[in-house]
């Protein structure tokens, strides 16, 4: 499976990486990530390390195991080793600010991948527009939910929220509400905390569905929770394909391989897609450019507009989603 | 204080955890009557089984003045090893369960080796094994999720005479733990060791062997706990079980186990785990704001621990008074 991920990643990045691989001098880049718990982070990690290495750069990898203090120490260690640049996936928005300041004080350019600091003014910040992407995905299932009812009765919309300390989770929640508020008088909202943990999501979702057996649409802040959602809905006869009696329009966000498979199967209607390869490419290009130009404090926000892959545009946009690319390479056949 | 008021206060502090439990049920029941329906109550116990089974094992360790910080990692690694065995050798789910238990024995044995025979402080040993076991599991999976077969999910979602399988397993583990602690020589030796390790050793108890068994039991319980929860989801993510050691310790302590050893029971662990889950799910059930939920959880758990502290203090003061025989005693 590792080979398949490598192959897919390398193939997709070959064109993107070629541009700067030849122009930039060989650099030593410290890549400090918080952990690799989901498909998104694994694919992002592969994209960055593979491309940099293949372009002749040296990558020093540091895994903080979800410990913000450890990540700060790891970045300090990288600075002490004299790296040319740093790319981080921070544990949270607050610790990211401290780490960016630490690197810039030491005159080492730093890029933050996907999880933005609470202060966007310093460092190269590559971030998905979580709110807009979530809104697009939610819009689609809101439309489906409204179409499935003939009267004006209020519908129940359930959102599984991520860790509220994570700016991405907050952005996704905001995007969900932006879509819901377009039809404010038509929806009751049920919020379920997941803390980005499958066991917590399982317990809380069971309670929420027991309290509110009539769910008309659902949005999960991350695709990795779809198996958990299935575990709760299936025994209650609520895990149905589109077109079957009792189908609940479901949407997620990330664009992973599981979501791709579930959209194809008809269980999931939409997922917000972060353009992983665009984000990885942007972070690498910007940091290598700063190294080459000798810019120690580059400050720039690079936004990934993303898009929503839905059951309606699946045929056209399937291969724009990183999860579908991995799926086509057999990622889920582990 | 009048004798009748005194007795009522005594009763309240002695049964503080249960009274808080009753108050919590009543409060959420009044807020949302559906909370007290059988389906909802069954859901609470089912979701409590995950932390509860591990808390039963943790109680054994706490009774011996020890601590096991590796339970979250064992919850992750043991089912993972079972999953690989099931996939590689086509084992049925029940054999996978046996493999998970055996993995728990081995992982607990590693802790036991260092704690019981090499005399390393349990906190340090299990902190090291926390990273060791999780690191090993992350290496095995290359950070990718592990999908179990449909049979595994069928097992997790199955029921025995209408009772969900996780609850049945929780009940069996709790019963076995209760029998061991309350009705066997080994159980009495655990309490004796927890109250005074040196006195226990001098009285002829093989304290090394006793400590070793306790850490193995704790890891086995964590392995069962992880297996039972993963069976419900069907997928194991690398972050699974992270930080759960704190929930497990909190459940055991809330159920009356003392971090100083010698005090605690299997029933208490069940109550502690169920109380925590009742609070968590009650907040979800009644739709409390997500930002307020952790604050409310913290307040209720703090109240329960405060009442427990009050009980301890009260009991100690009562003991002092009985140095002289009480009149009409």
Sequence-ordered strand ranges (E) for A172-249 = 187-193, 217-220
Domains identified in chain B and CATH numbers: 44-303 (1.10.3470)
Q: Give domain status of residue A314, yes or no.
A: no
Q: Kindly report the nearest CA distance between residue B280 and chain A, in angstroms.
A: 8
Q: Which residues contact A16 (CB under 8 A, 6 or more apart)?
A: A51, A277, A281
Q: pLDDT per residue over A145-155, tens digit each?
A: 999 887 788 99
Q: Give domain status of residue A317, yes or no.
A: no
Contacts of A215 in chain B (CB under 8 A): none
> What does the pLDDT read at residue B316?
74
Q: pLDDT per residue over B245-287, tens digit each?
A: 998 998 998 888 888 888 899 999 999 999 999 999 999 988 8
Q: pLDDT per residue over A56-76, tens digit each?
A: 899 999 988 878 899 999 999
ipTM score of complex: 0.85
Residue ranges making up the domain that contains A124: 2-128+275-304+322-328
Record the pTM.
0.81
Q: Give domain status of residue A251, yes or no.
A: yes
Residue A171: CB atoms within 10 A of its CB come to 23
Q: Tell if the CB–CB gap between A66 and B242 is shorter than 8 Å.
A: yes
Q: Is there a single domain that holds both residue A139 and residue A85?
A: no
Q: pLDDT per residue over B87-105, tens digit each?
A: 999 999 999 999 999 999 9
Please state the domain count of chain A. 2
Binning chain A into helix, strand and coil, the percentages to the nearest 5 are: 50, 20, 30
Q: Give domain status of residue A309, yes or no.
A: no
Q: Is there a single domain that holds both residue A221 and residue A243?
A: yes
Q: Is there a single domain that holds both residue A297 and residue A222?
A: no
Q: Is there a single domain that holds both residue A87 and residue A7?
A: yes
Bridge-partner residues for B56, per DSSP?
A: none
Continuous segment of H or E residues that includes residue A99: helix A93-105
Q: Give domain status of residue A333, yes or no.
A: no
Q: pLDDT per residue over B133-173, tens digit each?
A: 999 998 898 878 899 999 999 999 999 998 999 999 999 99
Q: Give domain status of residue A107, yes or no.
A: yes
Q: Give domain status of residue A37, yes or no.
A: yes
Dist CA A81 CA A61 (whole Å): 13
Continuous segment of H or E residues that includes residue A60: strand A58-63
- Tokens standing for A163? 């860790």
Q: pLDDT per residue over A262-277, tens digit each?
A: 999 999 999 999 888 8
Contacts of B35 in chain A (CB under 8 A): 211
- pLDDT band per the 50, 70, 90 thresholds, residue B323: low
Q: Is there a single domain that holds both residue A106 and residue A144?
A: no
Contact pairs from chain A to chain B, CB under 8 Å: 107
Report the residue from B43, B237, B286 with minimal CB separation from A198: B237
Buried residues in A261-281 as b, exposed as e (16+ CB within 10 A): bbbeeebbbbbbbbbbbbbbb
Q: Kindly report the nearest CA distance between residue B247 and chain A, in angstroms.
A: 12
How far are the Cα atoms of A32, A331, B186 from residue A39, in angstroms, in the given order?
17, 10, 46
Which chain B residue lies closest to A158 (C-alpha atoms)? B287
């Amino acid at each position: 499976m590792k080979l398949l991920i490598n192959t897919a990643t390398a193939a997709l990045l070959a064109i993107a990486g070629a541009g700067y691989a030849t122009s930039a001098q060989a650099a030593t880049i410290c890549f400090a990530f918080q952990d690799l718990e989901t498909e998104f982070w694994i694919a992002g990690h592969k994209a960055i390390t593979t491309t940099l290495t293949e372009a002749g750069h040296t990558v020093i990898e540091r895994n903080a195991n979800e410990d913000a203090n450890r990540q700060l120490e790891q970045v300090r260690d990288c600075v002490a080793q004299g790296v040319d640049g740093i790319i981080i996936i921070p544990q949270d928005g607050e610790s990211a600010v401290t780490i960016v300041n630490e690197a810039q004080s030491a005159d080492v350019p730093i890029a933050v991948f996907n999880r933005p600091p609470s202060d966007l003014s310093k460092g190269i910040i590559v971030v998905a527009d979580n709110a807009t992407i979530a809104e697009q995905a939610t819009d689609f299932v809101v439309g489906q939910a409204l179409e499935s009812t003939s009267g004006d009765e209020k519908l129940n919309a359930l959102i599984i929220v991520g860790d509220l300390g994570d700016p991405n989770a907050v952005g996704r929640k905001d995007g969900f509400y932006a879509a819901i508020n377009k039809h404010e008088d038509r929806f009751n909202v049920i919020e379920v905390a997941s803390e980005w943990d499958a066991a917590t999501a399982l317990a809380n979702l069971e309670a929420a569905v027991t309290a509110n057996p009539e769910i008309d649409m659902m949005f999960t802040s991350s695709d990795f929770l779809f198996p958990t959602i299935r575990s709760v809905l299936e025994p209650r006869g609520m895990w149905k394909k589109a077109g079957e009696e009792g189908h609940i329009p479901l949407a997620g966000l990330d664009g992973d391989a599981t979501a791709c498979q579930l959209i194809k199967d008809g269980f999931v209607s939409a997922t917000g897609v972060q353009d992983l390869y665009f984000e990885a490419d942007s972070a690498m290009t910007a940091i290598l450019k700063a190294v080459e130009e000798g810019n120690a404090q580059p400050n720039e926000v690079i936004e990934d507009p993303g898009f929503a892959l839905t059951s309606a545009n699946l045929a056209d946009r399937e291969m724009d989603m990183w999860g579908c690319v991995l799926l086509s390479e057999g990622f889920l056949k582990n | 204080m009048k004798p009748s008021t005194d007795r009522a206060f005594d009763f309240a502090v002695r049964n503080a955890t249960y009274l808080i439990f009753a108050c919590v049920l009543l409060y959420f029941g009044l807020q949302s009557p559906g909370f007290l329906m059988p389906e909802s109550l069954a859901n609470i116990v089912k979701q409590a089984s995950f932390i509860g089974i591990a808390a039963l094992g943790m109680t054994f360790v706490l009774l011996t003045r020890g601590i096991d910080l590796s339970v979250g990692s064992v919850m992750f690694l043991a089912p993972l090893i079972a999953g690989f065995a099931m996939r590689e050798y086509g084992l049925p789910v029940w054999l996978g369960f046996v493999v998970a238990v055996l993995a728990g024995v081995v992982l607990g044995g590693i802790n036991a080796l260092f704690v019981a025979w090499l005399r390393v402080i349990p906190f340090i040993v299990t902190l090291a094994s926390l990273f060791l076991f999780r690191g090993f599991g992350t290496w095995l999976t290359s950070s990718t999720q592990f999908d179990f077969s449909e049979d595994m999910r069928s097992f997790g979602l199955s029921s025995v005479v209408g009772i969900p399988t996780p609850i049945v397993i929780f009940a069996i583990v709790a019963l076995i733990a209760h029998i061991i602690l309350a009705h066997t020589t080994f159980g009495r030796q655990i309490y004796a060791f927890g109250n005074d390790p040196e006195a226990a050793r001098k009285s002829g108890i093989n304290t090394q062997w006793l400590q070793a068994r306790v850490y193995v039991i704790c890891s086995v319980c964590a392995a069962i706990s992880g297996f039972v929860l993963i069976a419900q989801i069907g997928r194991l993510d690398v972050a699974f079980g992270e930080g759960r050691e704190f929930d497990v310790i909190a459940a055991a302590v809330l159920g009356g186990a003392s971090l100083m050893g010698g005090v605690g029971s299997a029933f208490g662990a069940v109550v502690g785990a169920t109380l925590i889950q009742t609070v968590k799910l009650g907040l979800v059930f009644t739709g409390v704001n997500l930002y307020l939920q952790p604050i409310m959880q913290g307040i209720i758990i703090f109240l329960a621990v405060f009442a427990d502290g009050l009980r301890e203090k009260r009991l100690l003061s009562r003991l002092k008074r009985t140095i002289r025989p009480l009149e009409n005693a």
